[in-house]
Structure 1
Amino acid sequence: MSHRKNLWLRAAAPAAVLALTLTACGSEDSDSSGAGSGSDQGQEQDTDQDEDPAEDDSAGDDDATEGSGGSLALGETAGPLPYEYSEAAAELEVTVQKLDIGDIADVEALDIFDPEDIEGTTPMYLYTDYAHVGGEDLEYARPSLEQSARLATGQFMPSVIMIGSMDIPGGCPAAEDPRTFAEGDVWNDCKMYLVPDGSELTEVTWTAADDAEYTWALN
């Protein structure tokens, strides 16, 4: 069961609102040192000598679609995956499409950040598609809340939370979250990150309702 359900309250305000967190949260996940690439996922292997290694490899190819979690590359789709929000349950297909790198000068030009807060950072924009492929209609659902990104050090990297469009050149396009997310709908999500200079986002993980984790390598 997802542990982040019911954490999103939609703000019905016409103006753009932004909450910026520049200090990465200390996370229990950061204890897993060396989580700097998607290839780190699923490295634990059964040491049973009766198991055929060739069978292991072929089984791993199906991880992204059989509900047990898995590692993927940009543009690859995981699913159908169970997703629950409020009292509704659905199945989603999740595709991390691309990671774009922006120019901090474009962010500074907005004049809505404290210059000291964004000094020494690079804006990055992560695009993910969510397709509703079965189950109940979802009201004001935010499947992107189940997504988390990490730096090469394994440290969790928070996104900039945006409502509305800040009109940053090369940044996330203006888009409204759907009130009702129904079967057949596709939601194109974009998240903004202000990453410390010299660092890079290397992986993003989406956690399904059954706690299976799907990780995309971003490099």
Structure 2
Amino acid sequence: MLHTKTAWLRVAAPVAVLALALTACGGGKDSAGTKGDKKRNAADAPKTEKNPAGGGELKAGQRATGKFKEDSGKITYEVVAQKIHVGTEAEAKKLVSDAKDAKGLVAATAWVKYTNKGGGVVKDMPEVANESEIYADGRRGGLLIGAAEDGPGCEDTIEIENWKVGQSHTICQTYMIPKSAKSVEVHWAGEGQSDSPFIWKFDNAG
């Protein structure tokens, strides 16, 4: 379920360390187009309980499974996008060093739960959450670099150590998206699945 716009947003790091990814929310070869532009490779894609062929659209809370190569080895993860919170433009302006960078934008934070399903122990600083991206109306948002990891229920990857099989951690990502966006999505792709990500869809009802 998408949280509507409220005065709450994650406590942020000092604005001096925050920056927007310049390739997001528009042109550039790193900006993704609509989901219709993405190729689907069902034969190689990871799987969900309702979509055994892999990839495609999922509902909030629906599980997906894929492999990801951590420094300590290739890990099989179960991934669940649980919710998204969308803030206000006024809040977004406080999160960047220059308020002009946030004109027409809002900060969207996604809570994604990862469970180690096999492959070994992740010793420290897992990178699996780096594959989570937030899209608005089919276009990737701008990653908010340096945002704090201390929102309610969010965990800081720096503090995650010895992640054993069967254990779960919830890691949040914050992206800037247009305030006029009608729909918001969380994308995640396992190893070799950049062309066939899992997509959890949320309505922006704020």
Alignment TM-score, normalising by the size of structure 2: 0.69
1:128 equivalent to 2:112? Answer yes
- Paired with 1:18 and 1:180, the residues of 2 have a C-alpha distance of 29
Cα 1:68–1:32 shift into 2, 3 Å? same
Question: Alpha-carbon deviation of 1:143?
Answer: 0.9
Report the equivalent of 2:125: 140
Report the equivalent of 1:189: 171
Listed one character per residue, the Cα deviations across residues 22-71 of structure 1 (whole Å, up to 9, x for unaligned) are 65162467455767xxxx996x99xxxxxxxxxxxxxx9742xx363232
Question: Alpha-carbon deviation of 1:162?
Answer: 2.5
Which amino acid in structure 1 is aligned with residue 142 of structure 2? Answer: P
2:180 counterpart (156, 179, 198): 198
**Conservation of the 8 A alpha-carbon contact between 2:155 and 2:169:** no
Report the equivalent of 1:56: none
Cα 1:137–1:67 shift into 2, 3 Å? farther
**Conservation of the 8 A alpha-carbon contact between 1:137 and 1:181:** yes
Cα 1:179–1:163 shift into 2, 3 Å? farther
Deviates more, 1:201-210 or 1:183-192: 201-210
**Conservation of the 8 A alpha-carbon contact between 1:104 and 1:121:** yes
Aligned length: 177
Which amino acid in structure 2 is aligned with residue 77 of structure 1? Answer: R
Which amino acid in structure 1 is aligned with residue 155 of structure 2? Answer: A
Report the equivalent of 2:64: 78
Which amino acid in structure 1 is aligned with residue 58 of structure 2? Answer: L
1:114 counterpart (98, 113, 137): 98
Matched residue SS, 1:159: strand
Report the equivalent of 1:4: none
Stretches of structure 2 that go unaligned for 5 or more consecutive residues are 1-12, 43-47
**Conservation of the 8 A alpha-carbon contact between 1:206 and 1:213:** yes
Question: Alpha-carbon deviation of 1:102?
Answer: 1.5
Question: Which runs of structure 2 are paired with 1:2-13 in the superposition (5 Å)?
Answer: none
Report the equivalent of 2:83: 98
- Paired with 2:57 and 2:130, the residues of 1 have a C-alpha distance of 19
Cα 1:100–1:32 shift into 2, 3 Å? closer
Which amino acid in structure 2 is aligned with residue 91 of structure 1? Answer: T
1:156 equivalent to 2:140? Answer yes
Cα 1:200–1:97 shift into 2, 3 Å? same
